[in-house]
């Protein structure tokens, strides 16, 4: 998932909505969760993000931190 990819905002929103509905997904410790955790800073550094997408990515990052605590 990269910001240059078409429909990036929609993909972020879909992921955010999934994690709001099913936060236990983050506690699985899967490689997908680890990959997402490492890619979030890269995605957040992108200047072209909308405010909504940035807010949702921050929410995802916070949810991952809570799941790992």
24-46 exposure pattern, b = at least 16 Cβ within 10 A, e = fewer: eebeeeeeebeebbeebeebeee
The model carries a pTM of 0.85
Residue 19 CB partners (closer than 8 Å, separation 6+):
25, 26, 59, 60, 63
pLDDT of residue 68: 85
pLDDT in tens, 2-45: 667 778 899 999 999 999 999 888 887 788 888 999 999 999 99
Domain ranges of the chain: 8-68
Binned at pLDDT 50, 70 and 90, residue 56 comes out as very high
Q: What share of the chain is helix, strand, coil (3-state, %, to 5)?
A: 75, 0, 25
Binned at pLDDT 50, 70 and 90, residue 60 comes out as very high
Rg (CA), the chain: 11
């Amino acid at each position: 998932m990269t910001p240059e990819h078409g429909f990036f905002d929609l993909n972020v929103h879909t992921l955010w909505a999934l994690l709001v509905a099913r936060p236990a997904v983050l506690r699985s410790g899967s490689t997908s969760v680890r990959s997402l955790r490492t890619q979030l800073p890269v995605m957040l550094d992108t200047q072209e993000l909308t405010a909504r997408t940035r807010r949702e990515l921050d929410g995802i990052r916070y949810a991952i931190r809570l799941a790992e605590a």
